[in-house]
Structure 1
Amino acid sequence: MYSHRRTVALFFLTFSLFGIGEAAPKQCRCLYGQSCWPNQSAFAALSRQISQPLINPVPPASACYPASSPSGDCAAVLTNFQDGLWRADQPGAMQSPAFETYTLRNGTIEGCYSNTTLGLPCLQGNVPPVGVDARTVGDVQAAVVFARKNNLRLVIKNSGHDYLGRSAGRGGFMLWTHHLKERSFNARFIPQGAPRSQRKTYQGELLAHQSSPCLILFIKSSGHLGSGVQWGEAYDYVNQQGRFILGGLSLDGTVGAAGGWILGGGHSTFSSTFGFGVDNVLEFKAVLADGKFVTVNAYQNTDLFWAMRGGGGGTFGVLTSVTYQTHPIFPFAQSALTAAFATPSIAQSVLTEFVKLQPKLADLGWGGFTFITPAGIQINYVAPNIDVAKANATFSPFADFVLNATQGAAQVGYTSFANFPDYFNVVFTGSPPQVGFPTELTARLLSRSMAERNPAKVAQAILAINDTVGAFSVAGGASSKPDPDAMALHPSMRKAVTNVMASVVWPEGSSGAVVQQQIEVLKKKTQILDRITTDSAAYLNEASLYEKDFKKSFFGSHYPKLRSIKAKYDPQSLFVVPRGVASDEWDSELRCRL
């Protein structure tokens, strides 16, 4: 039916999805296997409109099941299963395999596992069976129009770095943006629609150029990135231009630079110096639900510009590219500390002091990541435009406190870097795997006021998780300066200093009962972390699917305006994702309207 070598495998994997000939109820999306699903003629017509053959995404482990993928390379799967770059290159792979699986109503889990000795069948699970490998804006438009015309559940996937399940959808139609790799650099950028006679200050990077009777305003160096560009690629490219770009940090830079990261806000180790990702956006390009290709900035589609800066991925349209403000390259220093806790009282003492330190570090432009357990702590912080001596001066009081509290069971070190790529290549390559195993997350934003007024309470709550907790100091400083209502980003992000995150993990192929048990553990961890907040605010890109009130946790007071903007640009909710704007108006599978 589709032009792809895995047609037979597709049939094998998806046969169990739905009853043959089942129709889609009214007000429901049409899913694969139902009688409403587009026929061969319809897909043939779509194929003529796009630049690449249609794809049939399958779970990555399917290559290890000869009956479903006779030509697959199982050895490559086993070698790369926990490699984020490899996973990003597989249309059916999510960075967390938990979202490749699907739980039936009876609690049974369908999936496809790399461990073939489990004796479980290889099934399609939650991976959409058909899709478009978009290489051009025209491909995106054709896919969107096709999905809308045929009432399909549209799933937008980039690198698969998603912990709310937004990149997967059982029986859906995938739009894979991973190969939209366009990139360009403009030393002097003017947003489309900007009036040349109007003086406009843009992030303090404005240049005035008087070359005619009209005053022409230029923005200093911008980087234009297609939605398939990953941060590792973006860093290399922008560095070649002699500039720095604020972005996400993950092993090998696998996170998409122009996808869910930026649409959810985009935090970074350098946010206290340069703001959040959304503070550095100059312009979006996107395809709307009606197939129209639009420019979104401070002068065109301004309400959508407000919404897309923090309103969440896969919600208002298909993001095809982002133009970012860039910054001069800078040297910086790193402070690293590890310590072991011999007793609970030592852990409480050190962590309380660490929490108290957060606002000060943010004010000084420091950011970093910390991993905490009841047995110890590992800290890595950086700050631009300082040397080792200044780093020592900033951190030595805290380091001395830790050395004294732990009776010397601590180590501290300082390192200087000439530029960001040097740091990235040392810290974010060759580390232990971060992906390729089933996991789900929960998190809460630690506000400045809580860190200052109740550090002991915060420390107590973190230790009560009784497991590894990540404390990512990715806010405060410059990211706290903009007006909280200037864009859709949760207002509490502007008041935060640290994102505190916990997780659960389970063995591949676990039963539904085991997975549900871990989900209940995750819910309890959320309740514990809620003690460090006053409003249950969370960064929606690193959060839980099981929030009691996702509107409050992910969007706060901005939700009503977001809902109104979505109604304007996507009245039929073609773009609907788990815990996204208007998702509560659909059933739990986002298939039927309530």
Structure 2
Amino acid sequence: MQEPIFEQYIFPNDTISACYLNTSIGAPCEQGSISVVGVDARTVEDVQAAVTFAASHNLRLVVKSTGHDFFGRSTARGSFLVWMHNFKNITFHNSFRALGAPITEIYENAITLGAGVEWQEAHDAVNTRGRVLVGGVSIASSVGAAGGWLLGGGHSPLSPHYGLGVDNVLEFDMVTSAGVYLTANAYQDPDLFWALRGGGGGTYGIVTSVTYRTHPSLPLIGAFFTASVNSVQPTPALQALFAEYVRITANLSDVGWSGRASVFTDVATGSLVMSLTYTNLNASWAQANASIEPFFTFAQNLASSTNNSDSLIVRSAFTAPFDSFFSWYTQIAAGIPPVSGVSGSLGSWLLPRDVIANDYKAVAKTLISFIPAELSYSQIAGGAVSHVDPDSTGLNPAWRKALVHAIFSTGWPEGTPAAVIHEVEASMKQNMTNLRALAPESGAYFNEASLFEPNPAYAFFGDHYDRLKSIKKHYDPLDMFVVTEGVGSDDWDAQLVCRR
């Protein structure tokens, strides 16, 4: 697992069991939340045998592919692990017909990915065919392409153009808690197909492979911006810059831009930095410049008008053409080195377009108040995401009204006492209350959210929760697959060990 660290386990008395990378702390290396035994699954039969064994011995079972999970759902203290990392099969289909589908329903250029395939591997595979996938962008390709990313919804810089991951999947193969291997699509087990598209990972069974539609590879324009202030707190200039950016979010979306803005502390200098990384698919360079340069100009004018105590420095502001999403991805994202041993907590909320457009000042003021937490303002919804019937998949319906996925996060060094961690978490809870107040009827992205939602069933699944829970009971009557804040977790205690 990369970040945040869920390998440590905090007991009710606030003692901690962990194995720290920083050996100078002097703490003993203990098991923490790492599974005590598991199966390195290589075949469907391996998965079936593991599930049958876990059921016969009443074991707490967890499923792990890459382990990139902000809720720690792929690990649990005293658990039995099914490790799917080596399901690396990739099959490209010139034409694909889902099991049970009419012979006339054919999808060209589909791809089937095993549960252990990572996004860099998937992007590599479709690029050789001149295609692209709506897929994840992550540090060192640590996100799996056929696991929790998809089952929780799956966002991408390409989502405003082609929809979320769940809008692009054609078929799942899965093993149930009874050890049954089945295929779910629009014609076979359609209720399960509905639930798997956004109803959360590790909940209904163990997915062994997923088949996606692909899209033509098109050129794009990238936009890059970085500015900083010599302060650890938001200065008036930085606040004004961020507010202007929030104000134009909807306009940028309307002309094809998608991407992310971040506000964070540069650990080397102690300065606050605001950066943007955006893409505009299949736009001309002139069109892209015409829509983004007014923001660059605003920033440069703001920088030239600030005094020394409030100086804003624009470090970079430019656009660049890329011949494909793949070339942008490999140059911008895939080369970032991996980070290990990071402990932290985060909160997030899906911000509807109308909330941003009608009260951008409140949105900007609320988010900037979370500093020194790191902010991430991801414009990866709207467009094609909003054109999908909210009830066509099990995904949280809040996604279909959202324009931005707003995240704030903070961390602490290894060895931090539990009491200090709880203080940080208390501050995060208050920030979440303020963020939630911007759009109380919205919700959160299940894969990147707070562990402290007062009503997690609604926050993560909206009014789909009851139907999702009914489907889970049908396909997992043993309640073998239970994860933090997932569907059905409300029937268990906080440790997911004993039924309530």
Range of TM-score over shorter length: over 0.9
Are 2:423 and 1:535 equivalent residues in the alignment? Answer: no
CA contact (8 A) 2:63 2:82 kept: yes
2:51 corresponds to 1:154:
no
Asked if residue 568 in structure 1 is aligned to residue 474 in structure 2, the reply is yes
Equivalent-residue separation in structure 2 for 1:353 and 1:302 (angstroms): 45
The answer to whether residue 211 in structure 2 is matched with residue 304 in structure 1 is: no
Give the letter for the 2:170 counterpart.
L
Q: 2:10 aligns with which of 67, 78, 103?
A: 103
Deviation at 1:435? 4.1
CA–CA separation in structure 2 for the residues paired with 1:369 and 1:424: 14
In the other structure, the counterpart of 1:587 is 493
Equivalent pair of 1:464/1:528 in contact (CA under 8 Å): no
- The CA distance in 1 between the partners of 2:458 and 2:4, in whole Å, is 28
Residue in 2 that maps onto 1:524: 430
User: Aligned equivalents of 2:334 and 2:32: distance in 1?
Assistant: 31
Larger radius of gyration: 1
Provide, for residues 419-444 of structure 1, a one-character-per-residue CA deviation record: whole Å limited to 9, x for no partner.
Answer: 12221121113436444311222111
Matched position secondary structure for 2:105 = strand
Change (3 A) 1:529 1:340: same
Residues 155-304 of structure 1 aligned to structure 2 (within 5 Å): 155-196=62-103, 216-304=104-192
Partner of 1:118: 25
- Report whether the alignment pairs 1:388 with 2:295: no
C-alpha separation in 2, matches of 1:282 and 1:432? 33
What's the offset of the Cα at 1:336?
1.1
Greater CA drift, 420-429 or 268-277:
420-429
Give the CA deviation at 1:303: 0.5
The residue that corresponds to 2:36 in the other structure is 129
1:419 corresponds to which of 315, 324, 338? 324
CA contact (8 A) 1:98 1:440 kept: no
Quote the Cα distance in structure 2 between the aligned partners of 1:344 and 1:456: 16
State the AA in 1 paired with 2:145. Answer: A
Question: How far apart, CA to CA, are the structure 1 residues paired with 2:148 and 2:57?
Answer: 25
Q: Aligned-pair RMSD on alpha carbons?
A: 1.6
Indicate the larger mover: 372-381 or 108-117.
372-381
1:407 is aligned to 2:407: no
Shift of residue 401 of structure 1? Answer: 1.9
Tell me the SS of whatever aligns to 2:106: strand
Q: Distance in 2 between matches of 1:365 and 1:435?
A: 35
| Residue 216 of structure 2, aligned match among 322, 328, 332 | 328
Mark the CA change 1:137 to 1:164 in structure 2 (over 3 Å): closer, same or farther: same
The residue number in structure 2 matching 1:436 is 341
Moved more, 474-483 or 345-354: 345-354
Q: Report the residue type matching 2:260 in the other structure.
A: F
> C-alpha displacement at 1:348, in angstroms?
3.0
- Contact between 1:550 and 1:579, CA under 8 Å: does it hold in 2? yes
Percent of counterpart pairs with the same letter?
44
CA distance in 2, matches of 1:325, 1:283: 10
Corresponding residue for residue 395 of structure 2 = 489
- Name the amino acid aligned to 1:313: G
AA matched with 1:297: N
**What residue in structure 2 maps to residue 357 of structure 1?**
248
Deviations 1:186-220 (A, max 9, x none): 01111110022xxxxxxxxxxxxxxxxxxx33212
After TM superposition, the structure 1 stretch with the greater mean CA deviation from structure 2, 271-280 or 335-344, is: 335-344
**Per-residue deviation, 1:396:** 1.4
Superposition deviation, residue 364 in structure 1: 2.7
Q: Tell me the distance in 2 between the aligned counterparts of 1:155 and 1:463.
A: 37
TM-score, length of structure 2 as denominator length = 0.93
Number of equivalent positions? 482
Aligned to 1:459: 364
Q: Which residue of 1 aligns with 2:258?
A: 367
SS in 2 for 1:322: strand
Query: 511, 514, 526: which one pairs with 2:420?
Result: 514
Higher relative contact order (CA 8 A, sep 6+): 2
Cα deviation digits, residues 338-360 of structure 1 (max 9, x gap): 22357733233222221122222
Q: Which residue of 2 aligns with 1:9?
A: none
Match of 1:377 among 274, 287, 290: 274
What whole-Å deviation, never above 9, does each CA across 1:93-121 have from its counterpart, x for those lacking one?
Answer: x2226200111111000000111121111
Runs of 4+ with deviation above 6 angstroms: none
Question: How far off its partner does 1:527 sit?
Answer: 2.0
Aligned with 2:377 (options 471, 487, 490) = 471
Q: For 1:303, what is the secondary structure of its paired residue?
A: helix
Structure 1 length normalisation: TM-score? 0.79
Could you tell me how far 1:305 is from its partner in structure 2?
Answer: 0.7
Amino acid at match of 1:493: W
CA contact (8 A) 1:330 1:420 kept: yes
Q: Which amino acid aligns with 2:13?
A: N
**2-structure distance, mates of 1:309, 1:549:** 21
